[in-house]
């Protein structure tokens, strides 16, 4: 029971951390569509005035004249529209696909035709999370990722799938779970780029018929359970200690081989051994100075010292 409560507390903390991250994220700066609404309002007012003027010439000015002018304005507002530079509008005629229009000014036949969808063809950013995705060694992970995608065929995006934004979100989450399920926990952190490419290829295969292209998939964060974090930390520390000991052993082996080579040189040349003895004594007193009491083994290095004068000269 305690372990279950502990897991629930960890999940709650992870969700709160995720919520804090989302709250701290910068607010998106979306482009404005005020120009489209202003154009529609201007068309409505203009056609209402024109309709009211024409009807008043025929039947005179009355309440019915104002109603007729308003209807005329509504028809003009419905028929004459504009699309932004990044938009494509899918037009259906009597329920069948007829054409796609935009950007700029376009016309729609009232009642017979209507705009089924306004498709944004810019690159769209969609964050998604794969909660408790199981790895190949059955370790649950919470993976936070970002999907970059765009619509290249507005007709397929409108006709082939009901809600392409939700569909690609669910497809991305499923593809990420499949990719993570094929590898072990130790490989998840080291193979991020491979996981990104694998998820992208899976999504491209699914979404190509929808008229959607996946630009890239990027993993932002991988949340590992706290009990496994301690175990992985100890494992990494043990691995580093093992590598350090192996390196120290190799260095000691190299040094011992060098000592063996030096000993063979000293064994063949007594003068070299004497010079080495004198050098050791000099190194011991050169910094602080002082009196040196040489044991018998060291004193032998000074035997026949006159013979070194020629060498030193």
Q: Answer yes or no: do 164 and 103 share one domain.
A: no
Q: Give the DSSP letter of residue 28.
A: P
Q: Answer yes or no: do 217 and 234 share one domain.
A: no
Q: Which residues constitute the domain of residue 64?
A: 34-118
Q: Answer yes or no: do 239 and 285 share one domain.
A: no
Q: Answer yes or no: do 197 and 277 share one domain.
A: no
Query: How many domains are there within the chain?
Result: 4
Q: Say what the pLDDT of residue 26 is.
A: 47
> Which of 89, 111, 112, 113 has the alpha carbon at shortest distance from 100?
89
Q: Answer yes or no: do 66 and 145 share one domain.
A: no
Q: Answer yes or no: do 253 and 302 share one domain.
A: no
pLDDT tens string, the chain, 313 residues long: the values are 445 455 555 555 555 555 444 434 445 556 777 777 787 788 778 877 777 777 777 766 667 777 777 887 888 878 888 888 888 999 999 888 889 998 888 889 888 888 888 898 899 888 888 777 777 777 778 888 899 999 998 988 888 888 888 888 888 888 888 888 887 777 777 777 888 888 888 888 888 888 898 988 888 878 776 666 666 666 667 777 777 778 877 887 777 777 777 777 666 666 666 666 666 666 666 666 666 665 655 555 555 555 555 555 5
Residue 199 sits in a domain whose CATH number is 3.30.479.30
Q: Answer yes or no: do 72 and 134 share one domain.
A: no
In a domain, 21, yes or no: no
Q: Answer yes or no: do 195 and 251 share one domain.
A: no
- Tell if the pTM clears 0.85, that is, is over it: no
In a domain, 210, yes or no: yes
Q: Answer yes or no: do 210 and 277 share one domain.
A: no
Q: Give the DSSP letter of residue 215.
A: E
| DSSP letter string, 97-166 | EEEEE-SEEEE--TTTEEEEEEEE-S-EEEEEEEEEEE-TT--EEEEEEEEEEEES-HHHHHHT-S-HHH
Instruction: Name the E strands within the chain.
Output: 80-83, 87-93, 96-101, 104-107, 113-120, 124-134, 140-151, 212-223
């Amino acid at each position: 029971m305690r372990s279950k409560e502990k897991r629930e507390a960890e999940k709650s903390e992870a969700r709160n951390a995720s919520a804090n991250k989302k709250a701290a994220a910068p607010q998106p700066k979306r482009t404005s569509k005020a120009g489209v609404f202003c154009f529609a309002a201007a068309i409505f007012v203009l056609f209402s005035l024109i309709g009211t003027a024409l009807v008043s010439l025929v039947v005179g000015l009355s309440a019915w004249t104002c109603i007729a002018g308003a209807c005329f304005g509504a028809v003009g507002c419905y028929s004459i529209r504009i699309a932004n530079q990044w938009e494509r509008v899918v037009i259906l005629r009597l329920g069948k696909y007829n054409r796609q229009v935009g950007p700029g000014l376009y016309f729609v036949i009232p009642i017979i035709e209507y705009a089924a969808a306004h498709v944004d063809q810019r690159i769209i950013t969609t964050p998604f999370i794969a909660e408790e995705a199981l790895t190949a060694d059955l370790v649950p992970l919470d993976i936070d990722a970002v999907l970059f995608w765009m619509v290249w065929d507005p007709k397929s995006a409108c006709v082939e799938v009901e809600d392409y934004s939700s569909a690609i979100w669910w497809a991305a989450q499923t593809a990420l779970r499949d990719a993570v399920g094929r590898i072990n926990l130790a490989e998840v952190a080291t193979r991020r780029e491979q996981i990104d490419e694998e998820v992208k290829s899976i999504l491209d295969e699914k979404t190509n018929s929808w008229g959607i292209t996946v630009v890239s998939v990027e993993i932002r964060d991988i949340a590992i359970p706290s009990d496994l974090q301690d175990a992985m930390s100890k494992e990494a520390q043990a691995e580093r200690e093992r590598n350090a000991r192996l390196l120290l052993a190799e260095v000691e082996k190299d040094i011992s081989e060098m000592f063996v080579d030096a000993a063979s040189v000293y064994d063949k040349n007594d003068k070299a051994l004497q010079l080495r003895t004198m050098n050791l004594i000099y190194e011991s007193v050169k910094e602080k100075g002082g009196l040196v009491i040489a044991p018998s083994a060291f004193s032998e290095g000074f035997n026949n010292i006159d013979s070194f004068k020629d060498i030193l000269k």
